[in-house]
Amino acid sequence: MSETINWSGYEWLTRERWGSIHPSKSWNWYDPTAIEINDAGQLRLKIHRNPRDFDINGKIIHSEYGAGLICCDREFGFGHFQIEAMLPSGNCLWPAWWMYPQHKWPPEIDIIEAYSKQTGYRKYSWLHKYFPRWFDDVRSWNIQSCVHTRTEAKINQIPARNPDLEDYNDDPSAGFHKYEMFWSQTVISFSIDGVCVRQVLDRKVLDHLANYTPMMVILNNHIDGFNRDKFDVDSVTPFVINYFRYTPL
């Protein structure tokens, strides 16, 4: 199994920089055999049954499913980021496109973080309990952007947020859409299909994030831990990405 691949002009690790399994999210592991690049150059991040045991600090942890993840640890900072992607369909999925520093966590920038239930991307009852403003509209999926900051910084957290219904009301697993982030000293903006769906303008947050550049870029498929008992591996399709582009400022 190769530990690196070349795609969209960059070299990517086929696991997280620090390893192949997250101890607290061990229901799937980062499996190089769940990564495909087809003849058209599309990246396909799958989830399949591929059981494996891991020794973590002397404790054997079993993981039933392999999930596709790629991680690029070159120097990504201020600039324009773009992918064109079709999110996976199926139940209990958690695909994401995100960034964090090479040797620290948090902070973290989630450009896309999506969740599915039985028939598509649906709202979660536990999220509705704590964040009812997210779900004032009715739609069949839940896709978010989010910015995590370090707690010792004592600055405002930027919570997860769905795009407004009038900005984007489509099934992200039914076709390809362009997802973008523009990051500068004065703004972080998130766009879908050319429509800006969110901006972060808090200078304390922006200055704080700037202190933690460069960041890695990660694309991954994943099983949602909150509903993994309902996961059906035979029902899922890959997370398909046509390209990744980055233009530095």
pLDDT value at position 154? Answer: 79
Question: Using one digit for the tens of pLDDT, what is the confidence trace for 148-162?
Answer: 987 777 787 788 888
Query: Which positions ≥6 away from 119 have C-beta within 8 Å?
Result: 91, 140
Token reading at 166: 């009038």
Binned at pLDDT 50, 70 and 90, residue 165 comes out as confident
Question: Using one digit for the tens of pLDDT, what is the confidence trace for 58-99?
Answer: 999 999 999 999 999 888 999 999 999 999 988 889 999 999
pTM of the shown model: 0.90
d(CA 184, CA 15): 28
> What is 49-116 written as a DSSP string?
EEEEEEEETTEEEEEEEEE-EEEEEEEE-SEEEEEEEE---SSSB--EEEEEESS----EEEEEEEE-
Do residues 219 and 83 lie in contact, with contact meaning Cβ atoms separated by under 8 Å?
yes
Question: Using one digit for the tens of pLDDT, what is the confidence trace for 185-219?
Answer: 999 999 999 999 999 999 999 999 999 999 999 99
Tell me the average pLDDT of the chain: 88
**What one-character DSSP code corresponds to residue 208?**
H
